[in-house]
Structure 1
Amino acid sequence: MKKLLVPIICLICILIVLLSADKITDHLIFFLNQKTTNKIEIKNDYYKKNNYIFVSNTEDFTPYGIEDILNIMYSIINSGSPNFTFYCPKEYTDCVKNIKDITNDRTLLTHLNNFVHPFNSFSSIEATISNTGEIIIKVNYLYGKEDIEKINDEVDKLINMLITPDLTEDYDKIKVVHDYIINNTKYDLENKEENKSYIAYGPLFNHLATCNGYTDLMAIFLTKMGYDNYKVATTIEKEENTEGHVWNAVKINDEWLHLDLTWDDPVSSDGKDYLYHKYFLISTEELITADSNITSEDHVFDKTIYSELKNTKQET
């Protein structure tokens, strides 16, 4: 009987191991992953070193709260990485839920997208989440290599042509670019896909743009000219009243200012082209004043996200 008992016990143990193999493997993987320190090895040419109040670059890819997740997401997108893997720690019980909430929140992702260079902005983000807490982020970027090369070449030529040695003031340098874009672009009312008016290619080569195209092109110029900048998006409170809007924010002499080329290039009822400077390098207070006689939510933005624009002067 004893001789039979030992093989039976061994057989039962083997069956238990086989039935639990997946769980054991998952826990082993999870344990090993916690011992792995992930970091972004390669950052592309459009990586921004700048940190902002809402999001900042991080080298710590183990999240313990929503702020950590946002910083991780920003760092991945900002680096130009097409995919990246990190892990939820066991003690952060809401980690998976919070990541699902963030990656499914189109509005929040749009705001996050506004802080990176246009060439590192995404068209979509996919998150694969395992039961072990492994998070795989896949980023589908908006700009293709061919368009980036063509835009870069043209913008470099234009900077050399427009920024002449006599232009020494920031105001004048940015103004000449602002005026060139508006004088060579019309707002694309039809917004056809082939016009590429939603990216910098549209205004630069097809001379047609939506607010996204104006803003991306201006952001590319500003970055090449050495100015810290990001894009600002409307906070849509009543979606039926607006389709949303985006414009530029730029830091000059420790002051964050608004720059809205779309609204400085109005669509006129008489068909004539107009060039305004009403929304050119203005403070938040001046933006509110400029909009005082207009019934629109286009310049309503979340100051908890674009916090640099809360006050006019920023401490160095």
Structure 2
Amino acid sequence: MKKIITAIILLASIIGIYIYKETIVSYVVDNFIFKKVIVIQEANDYKTNNVYLYVKETDNFFIESKQDFLNTFYTVLNNGWEEFSFYCHENYILCEDEIRDLSSTNTTLSNINNFVHPYNSYKQLYLSIDESGKITVIIDKLYTEQEIIRANNEVDYVLKNYTNDSMSLEEKIKAIHDYIVDTTEYDSLGADLVGNYNVVTVGNYKSHKALGPIETKKALCGGYTDYMALFLHKLGIKNYKVASEKHVWNLLYLNDNWYHLDLTWDDPVTNDMNYKEQNKYKFFLIDTNTLEKYETNQHVYDKTIYLEAN
């Protein structure tokens, strides 16, 4: 009798294993062979708690849609993580295709980069995916620790000497705007090098980031914008950078409205001082309707990404 019962149990087990073999194999692979573990790190000092329409913080690191990808990359960058691994959900069949697309074009990731503090933005970002569906992202930051210390000291100096507690936020923004425009020159040589794709040489000038206006007093649009963003973050003003095909500028939230702020275009390249003075505030805290009336070909941005500007 015992042998019959044992045989029945064995037969039932075999049938069960056969019926649920895919589930069992998946469980063994996920939990023993390729255990899917998410390691959450502490955020650095430059994480923001801002909420945006295009991307948001997430705690779901098993990707099931393209939006999950966007939110995950934003979370990684916003927290200042230098390496992070997450996974494709088994039901998301387009996951690997999305990874390849993001790796090859890089445009989407560059746009997400604009929503984080400059110190958490990347210079290079590396993506890889293994046979278990684990995606690993490695971040090479745009700013070194030494550059951050240098920039923070300069920001504190300018705020102490060019603003005061009696000023409104708008007055402080104007004072900082004037300081940057008055002490910085557009780096025309650097712009030519960028046009010729000689970005390594441009990097030596540092004109594409805040160290340009600080150290050499020369800047490309990225330098003007990053430097201004440091002050906006320091003042607790919600902001991010808006990018068109060949340009970038600030967008900030003030008095319940979103405004464009473009220091590059408020510092035109000319020896005519009267012209410079007349155009010094043309792009200072303007709304989108005003921006579009100027009809410049440098301010045509993707309205499906920078939604707050609409």
Q: Aligned letter for 1:218?
A: M
| CA offsets 1:22-67 (integer angstroms, 9 cap, x no match) | xx99984534598755253211011111121000111111111000
Contact 1:43 1:81 in 2 (8 A): yes
Aligned to 2:20: none
Distance across 2 between alignment mates of 1:249 and 1:207: 23
Q: CA 1:26/1:184 → structure 2, altered by over 3 Å: closer, same or farther? A: farther
Q: Aligned letter for 2:257?
A: E
- In the TM superposition, what are the counterparts of 1:84-233 in structure 2 within 5 Å? 84-167=84-167, 169-191=168-190, 192-233=202-243
Q: Aligned pair 1:68/2:90, yes or no?
A: no
Contact 1:39 1:61 in 2 (8 A): no
- The offset of 1:170, in angstroms, is 2.1
Q: Aligned letter for 2:235?
A: M
Aligned to 2:17: none
Q: CA 1:144/1:220 → structure 2, altered by over 3 Å: closer, same or farther? A: same
Contact 1:39 1:59 in 2 (8 A): no
Contact 2:30 2:36 in 1 (8 A): no
Percent of paired sites with the same residue: 40
Q: 1:128 is paired with a residue of what secondary structure?
A: strand
- The offset of 1:102, in angstroms, is 1.8
Q: CA 1:66/1:279 → structure 2, altered by over 3 Å: closer, same or farther? A: same
What is the TM-score with the length of structure 2 in the denominator? Answer: 0.83
Aligned to 1:250: 252
Q: 2:300 is paired with a residue of what secondary structure?
A: coil
- The offset of 1:99, in angstroms, is 1.8
- The offset of 1:103, in angstroms, is 2.8
Q: 1:104 is paired with a residue of what secondary structure?
A: helix
The count of aligned residue pairs is: 274
Q: 1:138 is paired with a residue of what secondary structure?
A: strand
Distance across 1 between alignment mates of 2:236 and 2:148: 18
Distance across 1 between alignment mates of 2:181 and 2:42: 36
- In the TM superposition, what are the counterparts of 1:25-64 in structure 2 within 5 Å? 28-32=28-32, 36=36, 38-64=38-64
Distance across 1 between alignment mates of 2:46 and 2:266: 28
The range that moved more, 209-218 or 273-282, is 273-282
Q: 2:85 is paired with a residue of what secondary structure?
A: strand
Aligned to 2:286: 282
- The offset of 1:154, in angstroms, is 1.2
| CA offsets 1:124-168 (integer angstroms, 9 cap, x no match) | 11111112101111111111010001101111121111111331x
Hey, which of these two has a bigger chunk of helix by percent? 2
Which residues of structure 2 form unaligned runs of 5+?
A: 1-23, 191-201
Distance across 1 between alignment mates of 2:259 and 2:84: 34
| CA offsets 1:189-213 (integer angstroms, 9 cap, x no match) | 1114332111101101210000000
Distance across 1 between alignment mates of 2:297 and 2:32: 50
What's the Cα RMSD here? 2.2
Distance across 1 between alignment mates of 2:114 and 2:149: 21
Distance across 2 between alignment mates of 1:26 and 1:83: 27
Distance across 2 between alignment mates of 1:85 and 1:209: 35
What is the TM-score with the length of structure 1 in the denominator? Answer: 0.82
Aligned to 1:82: 82
Distance across 1 between alignment mates of 2:283 and 2:272: 22
Q: CA 1:131/1:34 → structure 2, altered by over 3 Å: closer, same or farther? A: closer
Q: 1:248 is paired with a residue of what secondary structure?
A: strand
The range that moved more, 248-257 or 191-200, is 191-200
| CA offsets 1:260-289 (integer angstroms, 9 cap, x no match) | 000000001558882410000010001112
| CA offsets 1:189-240 (integer angstroms, 9 cap, x no match) | 1114332111101101210000000000000000001100000000x3xxxx
Q: 2:146 is paired with a residue of what secondary structure?
A: helix
Aligned to 2:21: none
Q: 1:250 is paired with a residue of what secondary structure?
A: strand
Q: CA 1:32/1:178 → structure 2, altered by over 3 Å: closer, same or farther? A: farther
